[in-house]
Amino acid sequence: MDIKSIGIVGAGQMGNGIAHVSALAGYDVTLTDVNADALKAATDVISKNMDRQVSREKISQQDRDDAMGRIKTTLTLTDLGPSDLIIEAATEREDIKHAIFAELLPSLKPETILTSNTSSISITRLASRTDRPERFMGFHFMNPVPIMQLVELIRGIATNEDTYKACRAVVDKLDKTSATAEDFPAFIVNRILMPMINEAVYTLYEGVGTVTSIDTSMKLGANHPMGPLELADFIGLDTCLAIMNVLHDGLADTKYRPCPLLTKYVEAGWLGRKTQRGFYDYRGDAPVPTR
């Protein structure tokens, strides 16, 4: 099918990034969230980020104005019903995702494609609770969406070829690169990345190195642009823990056991940048390690 309109569920960091790139690519975008303040914040972030692109001559002022004009926001989930493609980018909890799709289904066109930006949850299981498992896929963007070039496309067991081709065409139009992943826990990127971050937390937990020495070692010793603990704070420690739990539960291998220190930080509400504290404290002029 020819996709012209995209509905996005969730106006957080991922949702506003997906709305940003979709509108710039020429799609009509409807962005929804349960929180009016989140919708206002999302449009402010998108506007600011597009202004930055204009100042760096990445896009023209006309491109920016046209893209912002394509973005509508709503507090009513079912307003997404007329969309050709829906990308769910809500919190990484399976029960919430099931509830979102259940509420959406009665308002959808028969041909609408449903997708989830989940970073780890089974696409087959999400699809099985809908009326269109053959038109359901994983559509996993990387963060920050406007900068990162990869999109993982994950087929559920029932996903048909037309759905896959339609989603791949959207990725191409967004000027990004798709990588096809099988529907196994955490797919490709997080299957590799999260155990590395978890191992970095174990390295801290066991006293092998400090926050600073671990991040410096990986930046200068492995040429990573960001240390693993700094990256965990950027992603969100609650998200890291959720993905490790999906890996541990789904693959039943002890090598995916979440580090107790990661669990402790999440229990404390120290989730990284979004709460101003994680492996670093961001409340001052410069980040300071918390251990």
Q: What is the pLDDT of residues 52-88, one digit of tens each?
A: 999 999 999 999 999 999 999 999 999 999 999 999 9
Q: Per DSSP, which regions of the chain are E strands?
A: 5-9, 28-32, 71-74, 85-88, 113-116, 136-141, 150-155, 177-181, 280-281, 288-289
Superfamily holding 191-289: N-(1-d-carboxylethyl)-l-norvaline Dehydrogenase; domain 2 (1.10.1040.10)
Q: Among 235, 227, 233, which Cα is nearest to 14's?
A: 235
Q: Are 103 and 76 in contact (CB under 8 A)?
A: no
Q: Are 202 and 139 in contact (CB under 8 A)?
A: no
* Residue positions forming the annotated binding site for NAD(+): 10-15, 33, 92, 97, 119, 143, 274
Predicted pLDDT at 287: 97
For 220-232, how does the pLDDT look when each residue is reduced to its tens digit (9 = 90+)?
999 999 999 999 9
Start-end of CATH 3.40.50.720 domains in the chain: 5-182
* Residue positions forming the annotated binding site: 10-15, 33, 92, 97, 119, 143, 274
Which tokens go with 251?
């693959």
Q: Enumerate the active-site residues.
A: 119, 140, 152, 190
pTM of the prediction? 0.90
Predicted pLDDT at 1: 76
Give how far Cα 247 sits from Cα of 120, 141, 179, 206, 258, Å.
8, 19, 20, 22, 9
Q: Are 145 and 163 in contact (CB under 8 A)?
A: no
Q: Among 93, 91, 109, which Cα is nearest to 7's?
A: 109
Q: Does domain 5-182 have CATH number 3.40.50.720?
A: yes
Bridge partners for 88 per DSSP: 9, 116
Start-end of CATH 1.10.1040.10 domains in the chain: 191-289
**Cα atoms in the 13 Å half-sphere on the side-chain side of 70:** 23
Q: Which residue reads 């969100």 in tokens?
A: 236
Q: Which ranges of the chain have pLDDT less than 50?
A: none
Which tokens go with 46?
């998108």
